[in-house]
Structure 1
């Protein structure tokens, strides 16, 4: 809506805007007065807000609004003058009146005016000390829900526009809180689609200005080549003058030098002008983008509208006194993030009031103040919005959690008894998990936390729960400040650029090719005291494998809760801040991809959907179709190393043999038992099998028997290494088809290596 349209807007629309602003003043002030009924500044602010709404309602002819605002003003004036002390029932009534005023000012809400007579009767009873409170007031929280429902397609930008002429009168409308700027800023209503288009255009403009850089570089290179040509002509002139050339030749050469000198001046001037233009254009484009992005940013307080009131009303309905304390309410966040945060925050706040905060008598017995406190803190950190929602309630009964897990058959009692606190708390995020014995209107702590977690993950964020028994719980949320841009690591896979959001990246590594081991048919590498599964980005993203000899593999380590995965890529291009460009909806959901973006040179990069990618990994693992990453460079070029499979259920023996053989130059894979070894043999080619005898699932004798029955493997050399050194055990191994039997009792480094050389020769033959 343009400023002219705003000036021409109907009085009813202006009244609705003023009602929205003034009812927020009333709600905040009344809740402050509930804690301290004699605060003069809050009494004055609330009285002025009611007075302003009374005058505005009279101007637009809304008699119901005049009546409600008038009786509220009378009540507040009486409190100011000391004729009335505000009690909780007065605050309840005034908050209900606040809701009624907003409903009366909302076009098409006839129910608001219908409730006015009953409200006036209740207020009259409260204002007359001799009157009996005639009837119970409706729940303030019941009246709250339908009051404020902002139109989803409308947002508020910061550029100034005339909403109403400034007034010096104290009853002048205040600037809207949620829909207006702070202080004296005026607002202009802009549709979300137009603002998104502006941001899209500004981001493309920013990218386009970067394309000037290669042109400028080419011009600078041309200027250098031109200077070299000038110097070459000077040398040629010296040679010609010494060789007695005619005057015509020397004059033609001089003319050429003059022309080149003029073009050199033009080149220098054009290069300088292009450099200046490119710098200014990039600055303007950056400012344009920053301004467009800032228009999408709103203070975190916008998502808190009504939350303090909701906490107060819900607490009253449960017989509790609860206060919501907010820090960092001016923290700037993208409006899309704010919209999606409202539902999960509301749920967490309701849970905190219902199950976190105890009844006043229980709090007093525990040595706590009777009033409970919920704290919500918002801050910026490394491009993320950090939210901490904590309460000073009773915390979570971990024994009840254990019993609930066992009763629901989610885990055996023996396992549950050994679980840590963090492991137990993760069960609260499972669908349908609850500590509440019966269903109530207010969901118990745990019910719906799966939905909260899902909504936070949709924002590419994370949520973590901690608690201290008897002292309360804390939810720690991390979400991006904006969904319009994303900090990413750009990598190359199959010759194309892909971006991994930094929020999902644990670290990047260069993993030596010989550090990759095979366990249970999957590739792993050892890092910081744990095995990390390794998968190929080429297979996940359906890109062709790169050709070349590399002695190390570049790995992006991504985290999903406590699980780490290593994704092997071809090249790490670097960290970039990318402007998210949604994919065409006609494409539907593209597997493993969330959006696109443009790099500085104008080339396209696809942004990886990490959660979808991890689902693809799990699917490949369960179907057994995960491809092995070729460890290029682990062999001398043109001379492949011989491959040995070591099968042993002892980690110590396995690693000892692997290191011995690797140090001697062999390419070694390992398996944890006979079944794992059999799967490896069927999927890959080896030059030698070294196996133990006593192993779970499938012992060494069974494994050797299967090898000798398989047409492809029957000629594979097999060595048995066992603690059993009895003749009958040796005979069993050799009868099954082993070519060599080595007892661990007499085992030493040279004995194993000598036996391997005897069977298959050196590592490179």
Structure 2
């Protein structure tokens, strides 16, 4: 690419940014003029925006954009003089002009077609013949109306734009640079001060990856700054120990000074003086270290806060396009709607802001099509013909709340019930008994719609489903509120940022893990004696509801047994969020609670792929790494272990009782038989582990201590006879009793099993509960 092409590309980039900024002003102004066509400040702002775009397009060399902006400017000037009225028809055409200007600045798109420009100019002229001929409006030569480069000479302005474009080219962080004004020897100091303040507030362009790395480094610096405190505390302890030594010498001198010779007393005095001098130095150095520690920690915290703030953007950056979208769609539906945006300055994480576009678009279209009535219906209901649609963003209780509300008819609950039944989602009796919140939840299901036919706007059942998916992806919640005749409100409760997460830190096998608080229902300590066995699985009772208990060590692949204590630390989690009390609830037994912390989320290296049950990582204040648990993955792992009958239990009762509890290994390839045996034995109080074949059983046996092995004969990889033979030939395992449970009940088969070394042979043909339990009792006695 030649230097001329690079220069032109840089100029086009600047024009595109100028167009994006000025067309925002134009869009907002046109929508305001629709309700107040003669508002002078709005007309002035629109006219100045088009005048600026005309000058910028002329400098960059976009004659088509010059003609579009010039025609728009003439229309606004005519409206200022009272020659035309900016009515709905003209606004429709002017909005097309905005689209053309944005298209002209898109360097990746083909040049703006002359036919489109001529058609636009003709349509605008037809909408208002009083538009001017294109001459400069009165007053343009006035210095008060010269903020843009068109008023400079072409050579000076082009040179200024080129210099600015080079400053904003790849490799630079500058995103937008104000075009230079011509030199003015009469420029006042106040104007210079204003420009300096403007320079400080200019926008910079930084790559997202660079910003993420900056935030990561700021987080590491914060962690490193906090490592100084333990060092300072150690120094303080050394200082106290040195003071104790000095005090001990003083005490020794008082008691034994008379028995010491002059030389010994002099040496002792010298030692005491040296120690006193050392103590003063330690005091001074400790004070210096304390100041350095506090200042370093404060600076690191400020650095981290500022780096984190760089990720935040005002909600208005995403909301500026919605008024135009609402207007166009409302007109296509024959409705009159005014969009009110509240909380435009609310700070939102840039990642969440980028993800909000699609779900908010769905919610706004849903409100326009389903919620808002047409003008005649509203008039009949005693409402203003113009409906109000409100989009609100605010911070509340450490969360970001996004609300979309309309003042329409509200959700027709009777029609909703009919749609639920018609689509076979629930039985009529059940639907009739459902509460209003339960009914409204159906609106969020995939493919659900109350439309009988598909239109360009709705009827496919994907809109609110997309909103639900977005909310789940960012660990948020969605709530629907509806009042008959008064409107509907969708409330999204989202985390303030995806880069920072409030978490419960726990310890499992000496390692730190973080449970996102959005998924933590409760953290509690449960007496071991309160753990119950229900259908072969351990449970605790919470709010009168049995909750399955699972060990974090098993889920996270940690070895060993936790230290015994009277209580078990349990984290109650659910895959659902917030007030979703119907979601599956599980108790995860951990070794220790380590408190709540706000963590800077660090994604795992992509080369690791998806790590089971782990979502990300974070650094704790002491520099240790904490793995952030993927709760939905964890719940899926629990469900899998339940299906396979491989859940490990938490030791109940005292430590002595836990050690005395008999352990049995069941080796069986049939899931049904394996589950039956496991449940029978656990109900009798035995601790049961399972294996799916002989090889799995042999590996499990070697890695644990068992009082009995129960095995099938016919299994893949290694059959039961081979397993028994290996047990009897192993010096460490040969003393473990083995019971064979098999369908083969011929005498030859029985003899073959017993000859291999089995202690008991039970056939499944005559199998029943008490036969198995009696045989186990004969071999190893009661469970405890």
TM-score, length basis structure 1: 0.76
2:573 matched to 1:558?
Answer: yes
Report deviation, 1:415: 2.5
Alignment partner, residue 213 of structure 2:
197
Report deviation, 1:638: 7.8
2:514 matched to 1:513?
Answer: no
Alignment partner, residue 418 of structure 2:
403
Report deviation, 1:600: 0.8
In structure 2, the CA distance between the partners of 1:638 and 1:545, relative to structure 1 (3 Å rule), is closer
Q: Distance in 2 between matches of 1:386 and 1:110?
A: 41
Gaps of 5+ in 1: 1-5, 131-152, 170-180, 642-675, 688-704, 717-759
Q: Distance in 1 between matches of 2:172 and 2:413?
A: 47
Alignment partner, residue 222 of structure 2:
206
In structure 2, the CA distance between the partners of 1:97 and 1:159, relative to structure 1 (3 Å rule), is closer
Q: Distance in 2 between matches of 1:514 and 1:634?
A: 12
| Residues 468-547 of structure 1 mapped to structure 2, 5 A cutoff | 468-544=483-559, 546-547=561-562
Q: Which deviates more, 248-257 or 16-25?
A: 248-257
Report deviation, 1:260: 1.7
| Residues 637-652 of structure 1 mapped to structure 2, 5 A cutoff | none
- Give the aligned CA root-mean-square deviation in angstroms: 3.4
Q: Is the 8 A contact 1:34 1:88 kept in 2?
A: yes
Q: Is the 8 A contact 2:651 2:658 kept in 1?
A: no
| Residues 40-59 of structure 1 mapped to structure 2, 5 A cutoff | 40-59=40-59
Report deviation, 1:38: 2.0
2:590 matched to 1:569?
Answer: yes
Q: Distance in 2 between matches of 1:638 and 1:195?
A: 54
Q: Distance in 1 between matches of 2:631 and 2:622?
A: 25
Report deviation, 1:160: 11
Q: Distance in 1 between matches of 2:439 and 2:122?
A: 53
Alignment partner, residue 339 of structure 1:
354
Q: Is the 8 A contact 2:604 2:617 kept in 1?
A: yes
Gaps of 5+ in 2: 1-5, 132-167, 185-196, 663-674, 687-766
In structure 2, the CA distance between the partners of 1:385 and 1:13, relative to structure 1 (3 Å rule), is same
Secondary structure class of the residue paired with 1:710: helix
Alignment partner, residue 122 of structure 2:
121
2:236 to 220, 237, 244: 220
Q: Distance in 2 between matches of 1:297 and 1:636?
A: 55
| Residues 110-259 of structure 1 mapped to structure 2, 5 A cutoff | 110=110, 112-114=112-114, 115-128=116-129, 163-165=178-180, 185-243=201-259, 245-259=260-274
Alignment partner, residue 349 of structure 1:
364
1:618 to 639, 649, 660: 639
2:476 matched to 1:461?
Answer: yes
Report deviation, 1:424: 2.3
Q: Is the 8 A contact 2:453 2:459 kept in 1?
A: no
Report deviation, 1:578: 0.8
Q: Which deviates more, 406-415 or 460-469?
A: 406-415
Report deviation, 1:446: 4.3
Q: Distance in 1 between matches of 2:204 and 2:526?
A: 55
Q: Deviations over 1:659-687 (max 9, x none)?
A: xxxxxxxxxxxxxxxxx999742434349
Report deviation, 1:16: 2.2
In structure 2, the CA distance between the partners of 1:14 and 1:707, relative to structure 1 (3 Å rule), is closer
| Residues 706-745 of structure 1 mapped to structure 2, 5 A cutoff | 706-712=768-774
Alignment partner, residue 319 of structure 2:
304
Q: Distance in 2 between matches of 1:46 and 1:630?
A: 74
Q: Distance in 2 between matches of 1:102 and 1:615?
A: 48
In structure 2, the CA distance between the partners of 1:448 and 1:360, relative to structure 1 (3 Å rule), is same
Alignment partner, residue 708 of structure 2:
none
Q: Is the 8 A contact 1:16 1:105 kept in 2?
A: yes
Alignment partner, residue 14 of structure 2:
14
| Residues 608-687 of structure 1 mapped to structure 2, 5 A cutoff | 608-633=629-654, 680-686=679-685
2:610 matched to 1:589?
Answer: yes
Secondary structure class of the residue paired with 1:602: coil
2:621 matched to 1:600?
Answer: yes
Secondary structure class of the residue paired with 1:190: coil
Q: Is the 8 A contact 1:554 1:572 kept in 2?
A: yes
Q: Is the 8 A contact 2:239 2:283 kept in 1?
A: yes
Q: Is the 8 A contact 2:536 2:679 kept in 1?
A: yes
Secondary structure class of the residue paired with 2:684: coil
Q: Distance in 2 between matches of 1:401 and 1:545?
A: 54
Q: Distance in 1 between matches of 2:364 and 2:624?
A: 45
Q: Deviations over 1:404-459 (max 9, x none)?
A: 33333333333233222222222222221222222222234843322221222211
